[in-house]
Amino acid sequence: MILETLETLVIPVIPVIPVIPAILVTPVILVTLVTLVTLVIPVIPATPMIQTNQTTLTIQTIRVILTSLMNLATLIPAIPMTRAIPAIRATQTVAVIVPTQNLQILTAHLMTVLLTTDFKTTENPPATGDFFCRKKLKFVIALTKLRLICPASGSALDSQLVLPHQKAYIRREGIMYDAPKLNLTKSMAEFEHGKTCTPGGVLGIRRPYNFVEGEYPIYFDHGKGGRITDIDGNEYLDYLCAYGPIIIGHREEEIDNAAIDQMRNKGFCFSLTQPIQNQLAVKLKNLIKCAEMTVFVKTGSDATTLATRVARGYTGRNKIMRCGYHGWHDWCVEVKGGVPAKLYEDVYEFHYNHLEQLEDLMKQHGDQTAAIIVTPIGHPLAEQVEYPKPGFLEGVRALADKYGAVLIFDEIRSGFRVHIGGAQTLFGVTPDLSTFGKAMANGYPIGACVGKAQFMKKIEKEVFISSTFFPNSLEFVAALKTIEMLERDKVLDVIKAKGEWFNAELGKVLAKHKVSTGASPVPQMPFVTFNKDESKTYKAKRVDFYTQLIRRKVFLQPYHHGYICYRHTDEDLKYTLKAIDESLSFVDEKKY
Ligand SMILES: Cc1ncc(COP(=O)(O)O)c(C=O)c1O
């Protein structure tokens, strides 16, 4: 769909538009056109409003409009139409997304363009003999300024018909990159409705202020593979992947069929546990170094909370050293409303890759510390993703050992994404306990607290855990099938290779632009961040960049890294690079 849209942006208009001499213009047409000029032009706003509905014009319609314009122009001596007409005839590339469905208004806009475009003067004369092309560019640029056309996706910049010096001219004009706003009418209406029945309409990180308000959709309708479609029918490349669970793609038939089979033939919600739980636990044991034993839960927050409880139960100590987001439960939630201070006063935070901060904390509280919990890859909100510095994870491991604390790796994001055995296998540092979730079942709700038997056995008696739905088996089936596919199709190797290619190309794209940006070093988790500047314009630049990106149907979050999934194609990645390139050009050229 996206590619189809792209193609409509570059429509070769074969120069067969008939030039109708003035003498052939009938009195009826004359009257109509003159009326149109006198009645409609005065009410055209200086900057036309962007309508909610877009029309993709057919070549036929363009011909009709241009023909009528040419007819009209022959009547207005102010326009040197003898030049303008061949200029239009020479137009071979016309972008045709227009922000209105009303052809009369469109025609009026086009006439305004003609009337206000000075075809005689050219500040940047292109090569000699390129007269018509120069007019064409002027004309296209004028239309673009009025947002009547959108050469978003760089149709003109990529077109071989446009010569390098002309491309430079287009770039200098700085008008080629402002893509039209999306139609989000249904999302907005549904959001208003949602606010009447759900506090805030939608929850937490899915709220519009976490994206760009008014520019991003709020409700999705469906997804397939690496794409998602909102309720207004806009289709996007999905690089947020549901904040991590989608590792293969949306609606994976093999996985869904396995779950449906379980649902239809066995059932999944019982007072007792089905043996498939053991199969999955054994699978994890074979894949993950520390996973001698496993307890399955339903979310990442369940898993991290259980891991800290096991550590407290095992050591008889209270304090926790933490680094990263670990979920919404009382001991670690970022927003403290509704949480008594005593529930988190024993929890201390240190920054990823700052071993010295943890050393200081352990010097003060080491003998009372039950656990150090850390994400093995750093991914703080709105900041760049980080790999561990040499010695960081080893240093954390050594501090836990030195003070007798339990080391927990929170692998909710890194698990089943950066390596089938988790980041602990990738980096060769083994924790005592570890948590998994998200990508483990390609979207089915599952979490796992795994660990060495000596710690996990605390759950036999002293440490209690239970929930009605924890043993539900649909997600066990989905997880086993997902893992089977990950291994069989070497999914994680494929994602890594795609991500490495993407990152290398992204580096080149970012380097081309004036605006100062950063990129995630982790190939599976792409992220473009904006470096802080003294004038504090980076925030506005970030908003503009992500606005341009979503308008080009690339769904990424401005404050959270993205993910590459198995179903993202090479073409998807190439398109995304192009969209990033254009969006950065927009930022480059805008004055802040
Ligand atoms: C590293 C990490 N830990 C824990 C959690 C909590 O997981 P959940 O949202 O499934 O409760 C998240 C969620 O984003 C996470 O990224």
In this structure, the residue with its CA closest to atom 13 of ligand 1 is 327
Percent of the chain predicted with pLDDT > 90: 67
Q: How far is the CA of 543 from the centre of ligand 1 (A)?
A: 25
Q: How far is the CA of 252 from the centre of ligand 1 (A)?
A: 23
Residue 15: predicted pLDDT: 27
Task: Give whichever of 137-141, 183-187, 534-538 has the largest mean pLDDT.
Answer: 183-187
Q: How far is the CA of 567 from the centre of ligand 1 (A)?
A: 23
> Could you report the per-residue pLDDT of 102-154, keeping only the tens digit for each?
444 555 545 544 444 433 333 343 333 333 444 445 555 555 544 444 333 34
Assess whether the C-beta atom of 324 lies below 6 angstroms from ligand 1: yes
Q: What's CA 154's distance to the chain center, in Å? A: 20
Assess whether the C-beta atom of 437 lies below 6 angstroms from ligand 1: yes
Q: How far is the CA of 242 from the centre of ligand 1 (A)?
A: 12
pLDDT category of residue 68 using cuts at 50, 70 and 90: low
The mean pLDDT value for 460-475 works out to 98
Q: How far is the CA of 364 from the centre of ligand 1 (A)?
A: 29
> For residue 180, what are its two tokens?
């039209």
Residue 139: predicted pLDDT: 55
CA–CA separation, 264 and 276 (whole Å): 16
Assess whether the C-beta atom of 410 lies below 6 angstroms from ligand 1: yes
In this structure, the residue with its CA closest to atom 3 of ligand 1 is 326
In this structure, the residue with its CA closest to atom 4 of ligand 1 is 326
pLDDT at 475 over 70: yes
**Whole-number Cα distances in Å, 38 to 6, 111, 417, 580:** 36, 11, 63, 43
Assess whether the C-beta atom of 299 lies below 6 angstroms from ligand 1: yes
385, 527 in Cβ contact below 8 A?
Answer: yes
Q: How far is the CA of 554 from the centre of ligand 1 (A)?
A: 24
> For residue 182, what are its two tokens?
């999306």
CA–CA separation, 547 and 211 (whole Å): 9
pLDDT at 87 over 50: no
Assess whether the C-beta atom of 325 lies below 6 angstroms from ligand 1: yes
The mean pLDDT value for 4-30 works out to 31
Pocket test for ligand 1, best of 304, 375, 470, 561 (most atoms within 8 A of CB): 304
CA–CA separation, 237 and 194 (whole Å): 25
CA pseudo-torsion sign 138, 140, 144, 148: positive
Reduced to 3 states (helix: H, G, I; strand: E, B; else coil), residue 91 is: coil
Q: How far is the CA of 436 from the centre of ligand 1 (A)?
A: 9
Pocket test for ligand 1, best of 297, 412, 434 (most atoms within 8 A of CB): 412
> Could you report the per-residue pLDDT of 280-337, keeping only the tens digit for each?
999 999 999 999 999 999 999 999 999 999 999 999 999 999 999 999 999 999 999 9
Percent of the chain predicted with pLDDT > 70: 70
Say if residue 21 is exposed, middle or buried (CB neighbours under 10 Å; 0-12, 13-18, 19+).
Answer: exposed
Assess whether the C-beta atom of 326 lies below 6 angstroms from ligand 1: yes
The ligand 1 atom nearest the CA atom of 445: 10
Residue 141: predicted pLDDT: 54
pLDDT category of residue 412 using cuts at 50, 70 and 90: very high
The ligand 1 atom nearest the CA atom of 243: 14
Q: What is the DSSP string of 96-146?
A: -EES-S-HHHHHHHHHHHHHH--SS--SS--STT-HHHHHHHHHHHHHHHT
The rounded mean pLDDT for the chain is 80
In this structure, the residue with its CA closest to atom 7 of ligand 1 is 300
CA–CA separation, 314 and 336 (whole Å): 27
Assess whether the C-beta atom of 245 lies below 6 angstroms from ligand 1: no
pLDDT at 451 over 70: yes
Q: How far is the CA of 244 from the centre of ligand 1 (A)?
A: 9
Residue 38: predicted pLDDT: 34
What DSSP character marks residue 226?
T
Residue 137: predicted pLDDT: 53
Choice between 227 and 586, residue whose per-residue pLDDT is larger: 227
In this structure, the residue with its CA closest to atom 8 of ligand 1 is 300
13, 101 in Cβ contact below 8 A?
Answer: no
Pocket test for ligand 1, best of 326, 375, 418, 475 (most atoms within 8 A of CB): 326
Assess whether the C-beta atom of 412 lies below 6 angstroms from ligand 1: yes
The angle subtended at Cα 454 by Cα 450 and Cα 455, nearest 5°, is 50
The ligand 1 atom nearest the CA atom of 244: 14
Pocket test for ligand 1, best of 325, 330, 373, 414 (most atoms within 8 A of CB): 325
> Could you report the per-residue pLDDT of 482-513, keeping only the tens digit for each?
999 999 999 999 999 999 999 999 999 999 99
Helix (H) or strand (E) holding 173: helix 164-173
Q: How far is the CA of 327 from the centre of ligand 1 (A)?
A: 5
The mean pLDDT value for 379-407 works out to 96
Q: How far is the CA of 248 from the centre of ligand 1 (A)?
A: 19
Residue 113: predicted pLDDT: 47
Assess whether the C-beta atom of 301 lies below 6 angstroms from ligand 1: yes
Pocket test for ligand 1, best of 302, 413, 436, 560 (most atoms within 8 A of CB): 413
